Structure 1
Amino acid sequence: MSKKYCNKLALTTAIAAALTSVSATAGGLVGKVTDANGSQLYKGAKVSIAELDLVTTTDQSGVYRFANLPAGEYKVVVEYIGAGSSETTVTVNQTGTVEQNLMFADQAQLEDIVVYAQRAGQAGAINAQKNADSIKSIVSADAIGQFPDQNVSEALQRLPGMFIERDQGEGRFVGIRGIDPNLNNVTINGLNVPSPESGVRSVALDVIPSNLVGGLEVSKSVTPDMDADAIGGSIEVKSLSGFDRAQQSITFSAEMAQNQLRDSNSPKVSASYTDIFDDTFAVAAALSYSDREFGSDNIESNGDDEIEQRFYAITRERIGAAVNLDYRPDFNNQYFVRTLFSEFSDDEYRLSNTFVFDDEGEIERATKDRKETQQIISLTAGGEHQVDSLTVNYQLGYSKAEEENPNALYYTLKGEGLTFDSNMQGQIPQITQGANVADFTNYELDEVSDESEFAQDEESSFKLDLTKKLLAAGTAYEFKSGIKLRQREKTARAIIDIYDDGFDAFTPTDFATATPDWSLGDFGPGLNRQALRNFTKQNKAGFEKVELDSDLESQGASYTINEDIFATYAMVSADFGKLNVVAGVRYEQTDFSTQGAKVELVEDEQNDVEEVQNTPWSTEESYSKLLPSINLRYELSDKLIARAAYTQTLARPKFEDVGAYQIIESSTEENDDGEFETEREAEAGNPSLKPYFADNFDLSLEYYPGHIGVLSAGYFHKSIDNFVIVVDVAGTSEWQGYDEVFQPINGQSAKLHGVELAWVKSFDSGLLLAANATLTDSEATTIVDGEVFETQLPNQSDTIANFTLGFENDTVSLRLTSVYKSKNLEEIDDGMLRYEDAHTQLDFSGKYYINQQTHIYFNAVNINDEPMYHYFDNRNQNAQYETYGRTFQLGFSWASF
């Protein structure tokens, strides 16, 4: 560990010494909250001691704790929405800790929680949300299986203000309040898991086996002990511990899915196991496997003179595994080990036809043939110790993410003088094609590209948290401080070989296949995937390599980024009657460096020069920020809670935006007048980008009517500096003489404000209703070469909404859900504004309970066959239209608790 980090660690150690020096009363009280027979644990339950005006909540294992209690006899009350309340008299000794489990006596009320899994999931989440110190939305482990969702990210989209970004119609990245997912923080068991994708920070949450998730928490206002890179918010995935269930549990599920668009069947199986041994050692393990065959039909344009048709056939395979170990010799000491392994592979074959509307009647028929594999390994270990009124938490973590895309083959066939036409209007532009377009004798092989891309993201981290509780003048205080160190290295490497000749043995008609079932119009014949691979294998030695273009693409796409983050914080929590205050400050310092190259392809007819110039490029940046925050929670009554928060947060730019790379193409040719003209185009990263900084204000009101339900309304406002947007910066001071340069830059400023409304209600009849909407408005100012663009915040949607209608009894569970996300600005592309259109999707889930252990289920995903659509400037100007079809799932699940 470097000296600068050692110095900062010493600072936190001094704070810890100060905390431990505070005098404390030795008496303590600890225990679990369970049902009458100890088979059900209650998470997020409110536990209070009225005589001392003290309140706490149970953790994920149903455990509560009070420290620094004066000796005496107290009435301890536990409250849980959906199960009422229970009171127990407890005697606390002058020294030592008393262990006392608390139980609900009213078994009749408890039945609703145990029998109805859907209500149980809602009850746990609502109780945890009500008793939280900050503004949170929560999904319990029980609730995740109640949705027709493929993965964890899709389960999160049901919460207020949440949306997902999809890959081939399947949810992967999660956004909060309409804000770009890259501006959120995602942790798994407190560990920042790296991303296998070379350019992004956001983690695809579909890597996590959902049957090992103990809960999902979305914090929309952060506290100082949380990572600051959370402009949208922070998502915490809590893995299941064996102690989270009161007894041994085994689950198993299997399903078969059918995708209508490709008429393919896809299996999926998963299993989990938890157990406790000798009341001190617990294990939780899960395994999942899925093999999904599906695809999409796509048509896109450049908004000017090109239209491209695309046909995708994909096999997506996932393997997820995790083992969690916990050792708790007593209530005051616990140790844990968390592991996660995920492997994701995409075997993709794409056919495409690009129509170029110029005088030459040019069409390119192309293929993309690749198998991309992503792998994540995450290991974390730590412990928690209670020494009188001091709690010590520590954690050491290591994660490694890799992406491999070896030997991806791209074939391009070109034909000229062909007959076709289009007005290029509408969401699905129609193309009138002459008979010669589908005739492969009019094409010849123009280019073959063999591309291998590799990315690796490796992170090591350490964090230490110290918490001191004390009771002074009738007020309970909790002082907390800590540090977190993160060291991260991101690398991207490419080997690209481009060939443009030596194809004498290639006859296009030998590779033609039947017309694929493309739903958006006339596609024409396809190309045989295996035949093309065989041809490459047999004839590659005779291909002529384009050395300059190959070097340009390979060297320009390779870079390394190192990022070291040091954080320390101090905070205090206190209850002043009905007012709870959490206030403090967090300091984060980032040391950043990147190494890559400025790579330029020079083709100069005037000086007879053809070469690739490679200039090594490395740079370093450093920045720090002091980030104060305060969260207020006021209990107006037992059912009505008001909250307010002011926080400062940040977001670091995406890796692809700050990587040290420039890919420049410079061409000098003689024009018709005999003069030489130079055209220069470039694509570049920007290591000088500043991080986003945001001031966040939140107000909310929550009403809990007493049964399983909540009605809430909130207002939020964010002032954001240095947001990042990709624009054409040609002609600016750094890029004089260039015709086109796409580079990310910092915008000037942006403001985002909105309201968040939610209603969840479970009726005695079995009817279930849930509705939420987040309405936002943003203003962003970007200046490019003196021209001012007033737009929305990039990748921000004005409206996010969800609606669920459900019914559940002893026999069936039914749920119809809809999700809506309004349009958002993607980028400024050559003076045009590119938008992603609004998206509405309907899903259905139905379950039939054979008995308490076994049920069968049927899910219908994307019932309304909603496409993904992007456009330029107005909705009639296509940028991309892609459809995925409906998916139906039939399966069964068995559980033993």
Structure 2
Amino acid sequence: MQSSIKHNDISKLHQTTISRAVQQILLGSALAVAAAPLLAQTADNTTEQAVEVISVTGSYSRSLEQAVDLKKSNIGFSDSVVATDVADFPEQNLAEALQRMPGVTIERNKGLGSKINVRSLPSEFTHVSINNLATASGSGGRDVEFDIFASEIIQSVTVQKSPTAADEEGGIAGSVMISTARPFDYNERKLIVSAEGAHNSISEEIDPKFSFLASDTFGDWGALVSFSKAGRTNRTDSNSGINFRPMGRFLEATGPRSDQAAAVLERDAGVVVSDRSDKDATNRIIFQDKVGDRLYLNDQDKWGATASLQYKPGNDFSLTFDAMKGGYDVTEDEYDAAAYTASSRSTLETIHDYDDTTLAQYGIIVLTDVSYTATQHEFLSKQRINNTDYSQYSLALDWQTHGWDINGLVGFSGAEKSQDYANLKHVAYAPSRSRWTANGGETVVSANPASIDMYNSPDSYLFEAYETELEQVSDDKYAAQLDFKKALQLDFMPALSSVQFGVRYTDKSKKRQFGAAKIQGPAAGDASWVNNRTLADSELQWVTDIVPGGAYKAKDLNWMQVSNDYARSTFRYAGFSTPFNEGDYYRVDEEALSLYAMANLDFDLAGKPVTLNAGVRAVDTSVLSFGYHQVQNEDGSNGYTDTPISKEGSYTDVLPSLNMTVEILDDVLFRAAASETLMRPALTNIAYKRSVSWNEFRFTDGNPDLQPTYAKQWEAGVEWYLQNGGILAASYFWKDIEGVVRQELTGVVENVEKRNANGTLDGYYDFDVYQPVNADGSYKVTGLELIAQLPLNMLHPLLDGFGVNANYTMLDNSLTGSSGLDIPTPPEGLADSTYNFTLYYENDRFDARISYNYKDKYVEVIERNLYPVYRDAYGQTDIAIGYNLTDNIKLSLKGINITDEATTGYTLTPQFPVMNEFSGRRISLGIRADF
């Protein structure tokens, strides 16, 4: 159904949705209170449950023991870490704190862990919750940006790899369940204070971090507060942005550019293209689109705080209010010297070298060394100012009475995110020569007399624009949940130990506004700077002086550029602001109602104790998406509808699950699980809108009719629990994943007018229309996971204090063929193997750990839906050394990436690198007091 809705109607509808959510939340709370006495009257037995206390202090080996205890007691496949494990390892945020868990790896962005992968599957396949409430981060996807969360505020983390029916979402890869500390987690008053200073080897800056936790109980009441604040200044040097560009860019151009490209191809490479509009042919002739040398300076200011107020008159009742607030402010300066060979003025001049053998199996010819007639050389001073504020509030009820275990939850999770982007652009069109190098690419002076030294010709660069963008995102979620569990002792079915059932309602909404503007003169509507002001007319500095830290690490290279501070003060005239564009507005509302029922059985099979959990979850989801739809005006120009257009979508699912453990020997468990689960599509993909990429000649539409990605999965494994927290475990898992969301060509818009940045006509082109769709078919992922956690004194008394904590995950998947050229391609984000290895030693005073984390290569993106771009395999070594000055005060020395590994990537094969990036090593010195 489609309808036209005005802004006021949208606001009223959103208010109605929120009102309905609040009403259902309040109704759920009332039901919890009203139902409990009635349930108690029907029960004739009383069960008291001991409350497990997890301490956040203690030795590393003790934290491993606690994590193993949690793993053993869980009905499904899972792994956990507790706060000591986090505190004693070097990390910069919550993502990095989790990377040593079995099957968990992280995605890094300029040296910082940002998202997590479970069992090497893409990050969007992982469901994340904090205190049993799914977490908003403002990303627009289902993945959570972990870099916004401080690790000091957490108490424990469990990665649930086999879901139960009671879980909100199973997560195709797994569910990451984070818990913050509560006052009754401690058996006494607690005060923990820590401070740290960290040094980055490239930026040469020292970054502070401070945190504290205070907790106490007062009879039946308890209160806890924690706070963490950290700064981070990190520099990254990167020879990157090097990508494949199909020859259709030149061969489909109007005028002599196309004829010259065809002639040079035939003359220098012997390649004849009979039909220049045949994309299957032109997409297999590749040239180097851009070469960029970049310096990034990333300044972060992050804080996070939690508060918990708990009423607990006994072990059978507690009412807990949890609150979490935080902020993550980032200013990233990027200084970019780039050569765009595929400019609208350019074509081939001379092909010096080409490769027709490396990718011959795909029919691809790569022009590896080419001179171009009019390369677009660019000096770009970019600045991104990102601000994220997140908050989460929840009220949890835990009540055991007369054999009933009643749990209720109402909560809110929200994130407000803004990005202010600016790009000062100077351009010089001139002949040049670009080619691949061993670690990236380079642009040099060509044989053409008009060629320039792009790094040392400021008078040749003309001002084009000071581009600005402003984005604001609001991401909110309300939730209410009510669970009942009844312990049973039935004569006619003694194996049935308990039943559990419940209901959960969630209301999620994301709203996004976006605008862009270009400044081309000293006042609004003034374009006098364009083609009249040169780069030399601005205040220039050596880029390695603008960004602290010395020489450029990726090459023996330096150049002069405009600082972002100068650009912001000079080019933004008084009264300037970036307006929001109605065509870029969208909002997505999603409501989900889940009902589940489970049964727990305990019985003997062939004399072996068996625990079995079986359940089913029914989910009903409705989506309402709003956006301004693009239309073609009568004069042929592009425009948007006057009011937002809405579209509804919905889906209903029934998802079964089964988890079982068999104690085949003392401390040896056989564990098995089977389930069907889903991951919902990203809200950005559901949004009913159309966006345009002028450089790629592409429109991208949203799709409110998207369905979730589904997985049928099973797993079997053996776990041998040893003394002192040791464990050896192996499991084999299998997943059949279908409905993967991919961008697919769904139409073509002909004769679209495209203009250059200076307003001149570039030409008329056919624009492809892409849309996210659920791909047909499915692919299978199978894997093996191995865990070895061993205190080595079990081998020999002389090894007392030494231990090993290691895990390995190996995947095998059926190829998906998502490339438009039928290049066999694994799913984006999926790595074949990952492993973590930690060797540690500790005694009463001293502890030391060295850890190595490895992630195999994986497809980062499929460029233009044609060419798989890989992030190369990466391994990082971290260390941590601690010394207890007193029983309460500990001094620590930590190192991240101590071997200074580079991050690299390539298209299809390492012979065609796309990135060579350095973010340096990080050494920190800290002190922690525990009273």
Q: Do Structure 1 and Structure 2 share a fold, with TM-score over 0.5?
A: yes
Question: Are residues 177 and 424 of structure 1, via their aligned partners in 2, closer, same or farther at CA, if it must alter by over 3 Å?
Answer: same
Question: Is the 1:451–1:494 Cα contact (8 Å) retained in structure 2?
Answer: yes
Which SS does the other structure have where 1:144 is aligned?
helix
Measured after TM superposition, the shift of residue 732 of structure 1 is 11
Question: Are residues 301 and 508 of structure 1, via their aligned partners in 2, closer, same or farther at CA, if it must alter by over 3 Å?
Answer: same
Question: What's 2:913 paired with?
Answer: 878
Question: What's 2:417 paired with?
Answer: 403
Question: Is the 2:871–2:906 Cα contact (8 Å) retained in structure 1?
Answer: yes
Question: What's 2:528 paired with?
Answer: 502
Aligned residues: 789
Measured after TM superposition, the shift of residue 731 of structure 1 is 5.4
Question: Are residues 620 and 758 of structure 1, via their aligned partners in 2, closer, same or farther at CA, if it must alter by over 3 Å?
Answer: same
Which SS does the other structure have where 2:85 is aligned?
helix
Q: C-alpha distance in 2, partners of 1:396/1:608?
A: 53
Measured after TM superposition, the shift of residue 476 of structure 1 is 5.8
- Which of 478, 482, 485 is the equivalent residue of 2:502? 482
Which SS does the other structure have where 2:227 is aligned?
strand
Query: In the alignment, is residue 179 of structure 1 matched against residue 121 of structure 2?
Result: yes
Q: C-alpha distance in 1, partners of 2:423/2:856?
A: 35
Question: What's 2:221 paired with?
Answer: 281
- Which of 737, 741, 745 is the equivalent residue of 1:720? 737
Query: In the alignment, is residue 513 of structure 1 matched against residue 513 of structure 2?
Result: no
Question: Is the 1:212–1:240 Cα contact (8 Å) retained in structure 2?
Answer: yes
Question: Are residues 201 and 30 of structure 1, via their aligned partners in 2, closer, same or farther at CA, if it must alter by over 3 Å?
Answer: closer
Question: What's 2:297 paired with?
Answer: 313
Q: C-alpha distance in 2, partners of 1:366/1:124?
A: 52
Q: Which amino acid aligns with 1:482?
A: G
Measured after TM superposition, the shift of residue 482 of structure 1 is 0.4
Q: Which amino acid aligns with 1:426?
A: A
Which SS does the other structure have where 1:636 is aligned?
strand
Measured after TM superposition, the shift of residue 435 of structure 1 is 3.8
What are the equivalent positions in structure 2 for 1:278-427 lying under 5 Å apart? 278=219, 280-298=220-238, 299-303=240-244, 304-357=288-341, 358-406=372-420, 408-417=421-430, 420-427=432-439
Question: What's 1:811 paired with?
Answer: 845
Question: Is the 1:600–1:663 Cα contact (8 Å) retained in structure 2?
Answer: no
Q: Which amino acid aligns with 1:492?
A: R
- Which of 123, 131, 135 is the equivalent residue of 2:73? 131
Measured after TM superposition, the shift of residue 790 of structure 1 is 4.0
Which SS does the other structure have where 1:791 is aligned?
coil
Which SS does the other structure have where 2:373 is aligned?
coil
Measured after TM superposition, the shift of residue 291 of structure 1 is 1.1
- Which of 201, 205, 208 is the equivalent residue of 1:267? 208
- Which of 840, 856, 866 is the equivalent residue of 2:891? 856
User: After the TM superposition, which of the residue ranges 625-634 and 847-856 deviates more from structure 2?
Assistant: 847-856
Question: What's 1:761 paired with?
Answer: 790
Q: C-alpha distance in 2, partners of 1:139/1:802?
A: 14
User: After the TM superposition, which of the residue ranges 700-709 and 480-489 deviates more from structure 2?
Assistant: 700-709
Q: C-alpha distance in 1, partners of 2:328/2:335?
A: 23
Question: Are residues 508 and 2 of structure 1, via their aligned partners in 2, closer, same or farther at CA, if it must alter by over 3 Å?
Answer: closer
Question: Are residues 30 and 705 of structure 1, via their aligned partners in 2, closer, same or farther at CA, if it must alter by over 3 Å?
Answer: closer
Which SS does the other structure have where 2:332 is aligned?
strand
Question: Is the 1:16–1:466 Cα contact (8 Å) retained in structure 2?
Answer: no
Q: Which amino acid aligns with 1:890?
A: L
Q: TM-score, normalised by structure 1?
A: 0.83
Measured after TM superposition, the shift of residue 362 of structure 1 is 2.3
Question: Is the 2:519–2:572 Cα contact (8 Å) retained in structure 1?
Answer: no
Which SS does the other structure have where 2:133 is aligned?
coil
What are the equivalent positions in structure 2 for 1:426-441 lying under 5 Å apart? 426-433=438-445, 435=453, 437-441=455-459
Query: In the alignment, is residue 159 of structure 1 matched against residue 101 of structure 2?
Result: yes
Question: What's 2:928 paired with?
Answer: 893
Q: C-alpha distance in 1, partners of 2:884/2:78?
A: 32
Question: What's 2:779 paired with?
Answer: 750
Q: C-alpha distance in 2, partners of 1:775/1:16?
A: 48
More strand per residue: 1 or 2? 1
Query: In the alignment, is residue 465 of structure 1 matched against residue 483 of structure 2?
Result: yes
Measured after TM superposition, the shift of residue 308 of structure 1 is 1.8
Which SS does the other structure have where 1:250 is aligned?
strand
Measured after TM superposition, the shift of residue 708 of structure 1 is 2.1
Question: What's 1:627 paired with?
Answer: 655
Q: C-alpha distance in 2, partners of 1:880/1:799?
A: 22
Question: Are residues 119 and 799 of structure 1, via their aligned partners in 2, closer, same or farther at CA, if it must alter by over 3 Å?
Answer: same
1:727-753, Cα deviation, whole Å (9 max, x unpaired): 5555599x9x94434433322211111
Which SS does the other structure have where 1:535 is aligned?
helix
Question: Are residues 835 and 435 of structure 1, via their aligned partners in 2, closer, same or farther at CA, if it must alter by over 3 Å?
Answer: closer
Measured after TM superposition, the shift of residue 228 of structure 1 is 2.6
1:453-479, Cα deviation, whole Å (9 max, x unpaired): 100001111000011102234546111
Q: TM-score, normalised by structure 2?
A: 0.80
Which SS does the other structure have where 2:656 is aligned?
strand
Question: Are residues 456 and 608 of structure 1, via their aligned partners in 2, closer, same or farther at CA, if it must alter by over 3 Å?
Answer: closer
Question: What's 1:26 paired with?
Answer: 45
Measured after TM superposition, the shift of residue 797 of structure 1 is 0.9
Q: C-alpha distance in 2, partners of 1:363/1:503?
A: 18
Q: C-alpha distance in 1, partners of 2:558/2:192?
A: 46
Question: Are residues 29 and 446 of structure 1, via their aligned partners in 2, closer, same or farther at CA, if it must alter by over 3 Å?
Answer: closer
Q: C-alpha distance in 1, partners of 2:914/2:582?
A: 30
Query: In the alignment, is residue 220 of structure 1 matched against residue 161 of structure 2?
Result: yes
What are the equivalent positions in structure 2 for 1:605-620 lying under 5 Å apart? 610=637, 612-614=639-641, 616-620=644-648
Bigger relative CO (Cα 8 Å, ≥ 6 apart): 2
Question: Is the 1:725–1:794 Cα contact (8 Å) retained in structure 2?
Answer: no
1:277-333, Cα deviation, whole Å (9 max, x unpaired): 12x111121111111111211222122321122211111110111111111122222
Measured after TM superposition, the shift of residue 706 of structure 1 is 2.1
Report sequence identity in percent.
24
Where structure 1 has 5 or more consecutive residues not aligned to the other structure, the ranges are 32-57, 63-112, 668-678
Q: Which amino acid aligns with 1:503?
A: W
Question: Is the 1:750–1:793 Cα contact (8 Å) retained in structure 2?
Answer: no
Which SS does the other structure have where 1:155 is aligned?
helix
Which SS does the other structure have where 1:690 is aligned?
coil
Which SS does the other structure have where 1:160 is aligned?
coil
Q: C-alpha distance in 1, partners of 2:635/2:148?
A: 52
User: After the TM superposition, which of the residue ranges 357-366 and 484-493 deviates more from structure 2?
Assistant: 357-366
Measured after TM superposition, the shift of residue 722 of structure 1 is 0.4
Q: Which amino acid aligns with 1:567?
A: S
Q: C-alpha distance in 1, partners of 2:84/2:879?
A: 18
Query: In the alignment, is residue 586 of structure 1 matched against residue 617 of structure 2?
Result: yes
Question: Is the 1:767–1:807 Cα contact (8 Å) retained in structure 2?
Answer: yes
Measured after TM superposition, the shift of residue 635 of structure 1 is 0.8
Question: Are residues 451 and 532 of structure 1, via their aligned partners in 2, closer, same or farther at CA, if it must alter by over 3 Å?
Answer: same
Question: Is the 2:128–2:177 Cα contact (8 Å) retained in structure 1?
Answer: yes
Measured after TM superposition, the shift of residue 539 of structure 1 is 6.9
Q: C-alpha distance in 1, partners of 2:928/2:694?
A: 61
Measured after TM superposition, the shift of residue 367 of structure 1 is 1.3
Q: C-alpha distance in 1, partners of 2:680/2:469?
A: 30
Question: What's 2:88 paired with?
Answer: 146
- Which of 801, 805, 825 is the equivalent residue of 1:791? 825
Question: Are residues 617 and 767 of structure 1, via their aligned partners in 2, closer, same or farther at CA, if it must alter by over 3 Å?
Answer: same
User: After the TM superposition, which of the residue ranges 609-618 and 813-822 deviates more from structure 2?
Assistant: 609-618
Question: Is the 2:229–2:302 Cα contact (8 Å) retained in structure 1?
Answer: yes
Question: What's 2:854 paired with?
Answer: 820
Root-mean-square deviation over aligned CA pairs? 3.1
Question: Is the 1:195–1:201 Cα contact (8 Å) retained in structure 2?
Answer: no
Query: In the alignment, is residue 865 of structure 1 matched against residue 900 of structure 2?
Result: yes
1:138-187, Cα deviation, whole Å (9 max, x unpaired): 10122111211122221211011111122321112111111111111111
Question: Are residues 30 and 837 of structure 1, via their aligned partners in 2, closer, same or farther at CA, if it must alter by over 3 Å?
Answer: closer
Q: C-alpha distance in 2, partners of 1:688/1:567?
A: 20
Question: Is the 1:183–1:229 Cα contact (8 Å) retained in structure 2?
Answer: no
Question: Is the 2:389–2:417 Cα contact (8 Å) retained in structure 1?
Answer: yes
- Runs of 4+ in structure 1 off by over 6 angstroms are 3-6, 15-19
Question: Is the 1:16–1:481 Cα contact (8 Å) retained in structure 2?
Answer: no
- Which of 55, 59, 64 is the equivalent residue of 2:52? 59
